[in-house]
A and B are shown apart, each in its own frame.
Chain A
């Protein structure tokens, strides 16, 4: 594991050598700013019994379509080139003939992706102290922490999924499409399936679908319930995906 830091540093640096990382960071900065503006606007109309007031964090982040739209673009964009680009350009041959293990390679790429993902979330949390100290809106800090942890574990899972798809192909577009499709299934399709199951009154099925629905998970974290089952789900999905990615790299030596 002693090469982990060296590999990680190069992965992280390589994000900033193209325009992609800057564009995504900028987009998330804009989303955070717009959402914060909308949040403050809602809060200032407190006389009308606006539901967002009871659950400000979910209005701010997890209830916002712009945030999820941003993620749909950002997750594939951040993960698609991690392995696919090395395979396309042939640098994978240099990488895997250096005395490093596949596990080190996979973990370093995953960590770099997770750090980039967390950097996207930073602006959202940077605005909150202003709300607390300047606008004197004394919200609970607990839900902020639980949402932060929940979004982190969710991001870990999505980056691991993206990394896995990136290891399957040398074509970044294919990796991006597969990652997008998976994220779409977990975020949007589960919501649709949940509503469908509710309408058809199959409540046990609805409950099962709700458990894997990422929006539901994040809403739970955002409302201050730090549900360890969701954390366990995210962490085990990440571990599984990372393990499969290592196996894909090992298998490439055979075939």
Chain B
């Protein structure tokens, strides 16, 4: 019982230290952009399958749009926002499909790493491997490295 005030003091110091550490670790990004964007985006209606609800809350998919590059290659751009106050890492991978819904294999389709500061908005892009590609799927997961 005699130790209670001492323990309380230790606990208070530890808690404030933890709060200072927490404050030091949280860095958020402020964003400024044109009120009405000039560029016209060809938005894509998306369907989402969420298996990791935590990731779904942390990473907000703000929009998906597509364009054509090199005359006939599909290019997809996805805008993401880290809803948390601290740095987070994510992994993502694009998969490509032809007009019959069959997957189009590539020599290289690695999971890419994306690092986002708190509140940061980032865009990720993928370019279809060949002109036969008409569709895509984006896979997202919490950062593993």
Q: Are A and B interaction partners?
A: no
